[in-house]
Amino acid sequence: MDAHHPVEGARAPNGAPSEVKVYDIEFTASGSEYFRIWIVNLLLIVLTLGLYLPWAKVRKLKYFYSNTWLDGHALDFHGEPRKMLRGTLLVGVFLAVYSQAGQVSPWAALVAAIAFVAVWPLLFRASMRFRLSNTSWRGMRFRFTGDAGGAYLAMLPPLAMFLIPFSIIGVAAEGMTEKAAGDFVGRFAALTLLAFLVAFPYFFWQIKRYQHGNYAYGQMKAELRATIGGFYGVFLKTLGVALLPVAAAGAVIGLMVAAGMGKGFLIVLIIPLILAVMLYGNIVPKAFAVSRLQNLVWGRTGNRYFKFSSDLAFSPYAKLQLKNFLLIGISGGFYWPFAVVANRAAQIEAVSLRTKIELDALAGAAQRGESDAAGDAAADLFGLDVGM
């Protein structure tokens, strides 16, 4: 519970009725309409050499938000494009410097990696604050209550573990002979990567706890009650799903060789087999991970008064991804906005809200939008979103 006092006219949660109500979240955007929005946005972005980007982004967000409904009212976005333009430029310059540092020297790359690790948690927090405080439902803004310390605790270990070792390798290998450097780099990189993979579900759990545990609306603050075991479960199963077809393809080829089939026949078969495995590898494991993680994370987000649940089924979701993938390819990219809307619809409509309090009874201090638009731009550039 947050420390905000109930405002006049709203009922405190304690006095609320205890019967449980379930609300489905609805998504009413249409692919053809988003296509029209997308194409006009793209044209304006190209004409202005990218300066229109924040206006395009706000339009897109407002379209998606105004089509996301809970109990008869839709979400709304309040970000101001002019402020977001500054953020976009700032983060663009930072990223450009970071990505080119490696071209100059290993030392520059190391310095850039350390700077990136130091700044990224702050940017992440800023992006969450910006996005949440500029999102409203029934006129009232959401909030993100995470502090900078929490962001560092959740994100410093994985970032440091992933980015810094590779830069140190670059610096350390500089003075070695070719062979020694090769051996050293190979072993060190393999070890680091293995350790990172083993720890990845733990890191992911920490980040999601920081994220979902700091969402707030009115006097309600969410918690993420998922345990670490759930995360390891999803990642292990994803690994299995990813490796399954490789094993199956190997078995098929092995059987055919054992059955004494001709070399020519094998060569004919091998190309479709490789294509099928590639297609599978690009779609199915990701669809599995996305659907299971959404169910895990959103299904455990809530507090004693309300709780979300999510039932995004893997198999239809994977079929949707396959369909999107093929149609985007066939249409030369023009199906893309339709695919985005279909994907969002599947994800959002899987979520529902169970609540013991009246949705009318929530209240909080008046919130103004955070002006920290750099964070939002960073979130976009790094491909990060609220997760839904």
Partner 1 sequence: MSTLAVDYFDGRSSRPQRAALSVQDGRLRVERADAAPLEVPLREVRWPERTRHGARIAQLPDGAAVQALDVAGWDAWVAANAAPDSLVVKAQQSWRGTLVACAALVVLVVAGYLWGLPVAARAIVAFIPATVDALAGDQALQTIDGRWLKPSKLPAADQERLRAAFAEGVRKTYGAKAPPWRLEFRSGKIGPNAFALPGGTMIVTDELVAMVASDDTVLGVLGHEMGHVAHRHGMRQLVQVSALGAVLSVAFGDYGTFITTVPLVIASMGYSRDAEREADEESVRFMRAAGISPLAMVGFFEGVKKYRKDKGMPDGPGIAFSSHPADDARIEYFRRAAGR
List contacts with partner 1 (CB under 8 A).
Answer: 7, 9-10, 28-30, 33, 35-37, 39-40, 42-47, 50, 53, 59, 62-63, 66-67, 69, 73-74, 76, 78, 99, 103-105, 136-141, 178, 181-182, 217-218, 282, 286, 324-325, 328, 333, 336, 339-340, 343, 359-368, 380, 383, 385
Q: Shortest distance, CB of residue 149 to partner 1, whole angstroms?
A: 29
Pairing mode, strands 215-217 and 220-221 = antiparallel
- Nearer to partner 1 among residue 152 and residue 338 (C-beta): 338
Q: Which of 310, 249, 322 is nearest to 286 (CA)?
A: 322
Q: Shortest distance, CB of residue 322 to partner 1, whole angstroms?
A: 13
Site of tokens 């078995």: 251
Q: Shortest distance, CB of residue 358 to partner 1, whole angstroms?
A: 9
Q: Which of 62, 89, 144, 131 is nearest to 372 (CA)?
A: 131
Q: Specify which residues 302 forms β-bridges with.
A: 223, 307
Q: Which residues contact 15 (CB under 8 A, 6 or more apart)?
A: none
Q: Shortest distance, CB of residue 250 to partner 1, whole angstroms?
A: 23
- Nearer to partner 1 among residue 225 and residue 358 (C-beta): 358
- Nearer to partner 1 among residue 66 and residue 145 (C-beta): 66
- Nearer to partner 1 among residue 29 and residue 110 (C-beta): 29
Torsion, Cα of 334, 338, 339, 344 (10° steps): 150
- Cα 42 to Cα 54, 62, 206, 276, 379: the distances in Å are 12, 16, 37, 33, 20
Q: Shortest distance, CB of residue 148 to partner 1, whole angstroms?
A: 26
> In degrees rounded to 5, what are phi and psi of residue 223?
-135, 155
Q: Shortest distance, CB of residue 36 to partner 1, whole angstroms?
A: 5
- Nearer to partner 1 among residue 7 and residue 191 (C-beta): 7
Q: Shortest distance, CB of residue 164 to partner 1, whole angstroms?
A: 19
Q: Shortest distance, CB of residue 363 to partner 1, whole angstroms?
A: 4
Do 311 and 295 meet the contact criterion of CB atoms below 8 Å apart? yes
| Cβ neighbours, 10 Å, residue 236 | 11
Six-digit token string for 129: 């604050």
- Nearer to partner 1 among residue 26 and residue 223 (C-beta): 26
Own/partner long-range contacts of 335-339 (Cβ < 8 Å, ≥24 apart): 336/38, 337/31, 337/34, 337/35, 337/37, 337/38, 337/39, 338/31, 338/32, 338/34, 338/35, 339/31
Q: Which residues contact 278 (CB under 8 A, 6 or more apart)?
A: none
- Nearer to partner 1 among residue 15 and residue 229 (C-beta): 15
- Nearer to partner 1 among residue 123 and residue 340 (C-beta): 340
